[in-house]
Amino acid sequence: MTDIAHRSLKKLFLDCACRCENTTYLTVKELDKNATLKRINIHGVSDSSLIFRFDCAKQLIPCLNGGDHQKNCDAVIATVYKGRNILLFVELKSSTQKNGHIKKQFKSTDCFINYISEILDTFFSCSIKGWERHYVAICGQKGAQKLPTRYKRQQSSPTNPTYIINPKTDESLDRLIA
C-alpha cells in the first residue's frame, strides 16, 4: 500500500482509522454490551495496515445511522499481504443466527467503501478499485441455521461471506483471506 493511500485514507476517516505500527496484529472489537464474542486479534497484517471501525464512523458520518441500508460491519482492514492489496471486511457475531442481517451489513459497508474509493480517485489521485475484497463473519457459536462443514472455498462476497465458527482469540490473516 502506498504512503499516499495511507495518508488519504487516514485523512478521510479521521480518528476512525488506526494504523498498525510496530506490531503485526490488529484487534477488532464488538461494542455491543450483550455480545458474547467481544474481540478478535488478527495476526499477520503488515505494519502499514489500517483498520476502520464503523462504530466510530457513525458519529462522524450521519448517513451511517438508521435503516437497513445504513448498517455496517464492525471493521474494514486495509492491508498488503504477500504483495496483494486487500480490504478485509470483518463482522463479529455471537452466533450465526443473523445470517441475513450479516449480509445486509456487508452490502452496506461495501457501498460505503465504493463511495470512499470514488473520493480517493477524484480528489487524491489514489485508487483502491483494484484491491481484493474479502468478507468474513466471525461467529462465536453456531446458531440454528445450518452451515456446511465441508465446502470448497470460493471468493467471498457481501452476499456470500466466509464464516469462521468458534474462533480462537487470535486468528491469522492467512486463514481469513485464504
Q: What is the pLDDT of residues 130-165, one digit of tens each?
A: 899 999 998 876 654 454 554 455 678 888 888 888
**Domain that includes residue 127, residue range:** 3-177
The whole-chain average pLDDT of the chain stands at: 76
Return the pLDDT at 55: 65
Which DSSP string corresponds to the chain? --HHHHHHHHHHHGGGEEE--S-SEEEEE---TT-S--EEEEES--TT-EEEEHHHHHHH-GGGSSSGGG---SEEEEEEETTEEEEEEEEEEEESTTHHHHHHHHHHHHHHHHHHHHHHHHHSS---TTSEEEEEEEEEE--SS---SS------BTTB-EEEES--SEEEHHHHH-
Q: Write out residues in the chain with pLDDT < 50, as ranges.
A: 144-145, 147, 150-151
Return the pLDDT at 134: 95
Structural domains counted in the chain: 1
